[in-house]
Each structure stands twice: as structure tokens, then as C-alpha cells.
């Protein structure tokens, strides 16, 4: 019989370490029993002794549950890296976040974090652009990137969509992106939308002398995503957006390879993540998903706003942003593990969801300047329309970075003043 609990074990540099929150079922004796079953099911074991299990296999591939924190219901398991196909994220997650969630012996299970060993990290290219590459492309050095999402999410035709983008860019925003459920619709075909919108982008860039970015949503089957990416490139686009959860991990890896060779920035939208990240006692953390996205090679990633309409507290979002932007992380043992990213470029965090210009002081204070801040209704809902809403956002950023209160900046900025009048308490 293989013993999977070894509290005297110290993880090596070749181990993948997974940290879980566990609530055992009544038939589970204790957390040690839960550790045994989780480690067994996620690696080489099964529910009964088997004749095909050799001592050699057990010795080489057996994971070790090396820490049990009964006060916090947290366990840590070290897996030999030989258990994984290093450059296959789908296989890795099928092991450490697969069948274990369906075991009767556990009531609740949450994958809190994964620490990837050097050999696995080095099997991925990571982001093609990362923060430095994005700043070089956009020519924005000392402030956050500012963007909006075309609203309504769906319903506008291609020409109307392009017009809204033009108003947002003309008002001072850097970025306009598609929303997660806009792809190629009967009323708004992908290719025509790209052609119309990038034509408007070129005009606004020439008028304003500023770089403007459009992020079209190419989400579809892999073969279709490649064709859509090519349409973007052929029309002078430099960015695409992908719904990372719904397209799947293997599709993302293939698209990262395809787009990396074509020098296209990938914006990662996390639609559907809360289906498995929101329950604090079950599923997996957004942190875990974010780390897999840095490995796979997303250049930008939605991580949360702290303020606004989306779930995600300050500690969680700040920790996540640190993990995807810093090269080395010293974990706290309860919510994060140690991680060395080697030479992988950092991911640019994105805050989006229920934001208005009035949130900007808190956003800068909590999340800083190395961010993309996106405003949907907080741009288009301005009393004077989209262009004025974009201007109010740019004015709010400039006021904060100049050390002014928004009310002070609004004395000379009519668009900001009207935004305060609408959304102020």
C-alpha cells in the first residue's frame, strides 16, 4: 500500500506544489485521510490496491502531502514533475484540478495556488509583449492605459460600432475593445467591423497624434480564430482579444504560438471564471487561473477592480497583480506559494467592471499606474455622450496624477464636472 502523507517531506525544486482548502465529508476520518485520497486520485492511485502498481512506479511518481493545517483546513501536496507533460496545461490541470473535485469523501475543495517548478516554467514562452512591450507599442510610459468597451454589448451594426470607437478615441481614450459576447453576429459581421473600426482608428490617430488601440474579440474555434486574427493583421490591427475560459487551455496555447509569431498582443478576457472562482470554499482561485495565463502567454488579463461592480476584494486582487507582474514571489503559505518566473515577461493587469471617472483616485491608490483601466457605462453613460465621457476619464487621470482632487480638476474641466454631478454621491 502506498502512503501519500509524509509530513517530514520537503519539496524539491523539481516538484510542482499545489495548495488546497478542504472541507471533508462525514465519511472522511480527518484531513490526513483527505490528503491521502486527494494525492492518490490526482496522481498514480485508485480506490483499491492494484497488481499493476510496482514499487518502482510508487517510488518515482508518488506525490507527498507534506503539510496539513487543521486550523485553516489547508493542505499542501508536492508532485514530482515527471507526473506532468510540462508544456500541456490541460494535462496539468486534469491532474491537480480534475477528478478530485468529484470525490464523495470531500464536501468542498478549492485549489488555492500552484507553484510551478523551473523546468515547467521554462517549457512555456510566456507573454510575447508583456508590460514593457505594450508600453513601447502604445507609447504610454507614465500613466495607466485608459479604455472603454463598446456599449451596448451587442446590437450595433459595423458602422455604428466604428463610430462609437471613434468618439471614445477622440475623447482621449487609448483603447476600445469588444465585449465578451460580441464575435461575428448577423447584424455585425466580424470582417466588416474590423475594416470599419480600424479605418476610423487610422483617422483619429492622424488627427490626434496619439496611438490608438482596438481589441477585437476573435473567440471561436481555433481554425476560425486564426482566420479572424489574420483579418485583423491584414487591416493593420496589433491586438486581439480572447475569452480565455470558454475557448479552453489547449486552444489558448495554440493561439499563443500562432499570434506570437505574428507579433500580435493578446488581451485575455476572463468571462465565465466566476463559475469556479467565486465560491471561497470550492473550485479554484482566480490567482491560479492568472498564473496559468502568464505561463501560456497572455499579455493582458482582467484581474479585478476592487471598486466597481465585480466581485474581488483588495487583498485578492493586489496579490494576483503582484504574482503576474513580479519575477519572484515569496508566498505567505495561506493564499500564495513561492513562485520564480525566470525570464517570463509580466502580464499587464486590467481592471474593468462598473467603473466611472469617480473611481480613478481609488484605483490609482490601490492598484497603481501599471494597469489598464476600462470604463463601459462610465464612459458611454456620460450626460453628453461617449466623447465627453472619454474626456472626463482622461481629465480625471490627469487631475489625480497632478496631485489634484477630482473636484479641483473639475473646476476647469466641464466633462469631468458633469461626470461628478451624475455619479457623485
The owner of cell 509580466 is: 346
All three cell numbers of 303 = 484581474
Torsion of CA 63, 253, 131, 409, to 10 degrees: -110
Contacts of 27 (CB under 8 A, 6+ apart): 104, 105
All three cell numbers of 275 = 463559475
Spatial separation of the C-alpha atoms in residues 9 and 68, rounded to whole Å: 12
DSSP 283: E
Q: How many other C-beta atoms can be found within 10 angstroms of the C-beta atom of residue 56?
A: 8
Which are the catalytic amino acids?
151, 269
* Strand pairing category for 283-284 and 106-115: parallel
Spatial separation of the C-alpha atoms in residues 3 and 397, rounded to whole Å: 57
Quote the strand ranges of 223-270, DSSP E: 239-243, 265-269
In terms of phi and psi (left: phi > 0; alpha: psi -120 to 50; beta: otherwise), the region of 21 is beta
Spatial separation of the C-alpha atoms in residues 149 and 376, rounded to whole Å: 5
Amino acid at each position: 500500500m502506498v502512503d501519500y502523507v509524509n509530513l517530514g517531506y520537503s519539496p524539491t525544486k523539481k516538484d510542482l506544489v499545489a495548495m488546497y482548502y478542504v472541507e471533508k465529508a462525514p465519511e472522511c476520518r480527518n484531513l490526513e485521510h483527505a490528503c491521502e485520497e486527494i494525492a492518490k486520485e490526482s496522481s498514480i492511485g485508485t480506490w483499491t490496491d492494484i497488481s499493476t502498481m510496482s514499487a518502482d512506479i510508487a517510488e518515482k511518481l508518488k506525490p507527498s502531502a507534506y503539510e496539513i493545517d487543521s486550523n485553516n483546513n489547508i493542505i499542501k501536496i508536492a508532485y514530482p514533475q515527471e507526473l506532468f507533460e510540462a508544456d500541456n496545461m490541460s494535462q496539468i490541470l486534469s491532474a491537480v484540478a480534475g477528478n478530485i473535485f468529484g470525490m464523495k469523501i470531500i464536501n468542498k475543495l478549492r485549489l488555492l495556488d500552484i507553484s510551478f517548478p523551473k523546468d515547467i516554467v521554462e517549457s512555456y514562452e510566456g507573454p510575447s509583449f508583456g508590460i514593457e512591450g505594450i508600453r513601447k507599442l502604445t507609447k504610454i510610459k507614465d500613466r495607466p492605459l485608459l479604455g472603454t468597451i463598446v456599449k451596448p454589448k451587442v446590437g450595433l451594426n459595423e458602422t455604428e460600432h466604428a463610430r462609437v470607437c471613434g468618439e471614445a478615441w477622440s475623447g482621449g481614450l487609448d483603447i476600445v475593445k469588444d465585449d465578451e459576447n460580441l464575435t461575428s453576429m448577423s447584424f455585425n459581421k466580424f470582417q466588416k467591423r474590423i475594416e470599419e473600426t480600424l479605418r476610423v482608428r487610422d483617422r483619429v490617430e492622424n488627427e490626434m497624434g496619439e496611438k490608438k488601440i482596438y481589441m477585437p474579440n476573435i473567440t471561436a474555434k481555433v481554425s476560425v480564430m486564426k482566420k479572424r486574427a489574420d483579418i485583423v493583421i491584414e487591416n493593420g490591427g496589433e491586438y486581439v482579444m480572447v475569452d480565455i475560459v470558454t475557448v479552453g487551455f489547449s486552444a489558448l496555447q495554440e493561439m499563443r504560438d500562432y499570434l506570437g509569431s505574428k507579433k500580435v498582443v493578446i488581451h485575455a478576457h476572463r468571462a465565465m471564471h466566476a463559475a469556479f472562482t467565486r465560491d471561497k470554499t470550492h473550485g479554484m482561485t482566480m490567482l491560479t487561473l492568472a498564473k496559468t495565463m502568464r505561463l501560456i502567454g497572455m499579455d493582458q488579463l482582467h484581474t479585478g477592480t476592487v471598486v466597481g461592480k465585480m466581485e474581488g476584494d483588495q487583498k485578492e486582487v493586489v496579490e494576483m497583480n503582484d504574482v503576474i507582474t513580479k519575477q519572484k514571489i515569496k508566498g505567505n503559505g495561506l493564499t500564495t506559494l513561492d513562485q520564480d518566473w525566470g525570464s517570463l515577461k509580466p502580464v499587464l493587469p486590467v481592471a474593468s467592471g462598473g467603473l466611472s471617472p469617480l473611481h480613478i483616485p481609488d484605483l490609482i491608490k490601490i492598484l497603481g499606474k501599471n494597469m489598464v483601466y476600462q470604463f463601459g457605462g462610465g464612459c458611454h453613460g456620460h450626460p453628453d455622450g461617449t466623447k465627453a465621457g472619454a474626456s472626463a476619464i482622461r481629465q480625471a487621470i490627469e487631475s489625480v496624477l497632478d496631485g489634484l482632487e477630482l473636484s479641483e480638476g473639475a473646476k476647469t474641466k466641464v466633462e469631468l464636472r458633469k461626470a461628478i454631478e451624475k455619479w457623485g454621491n
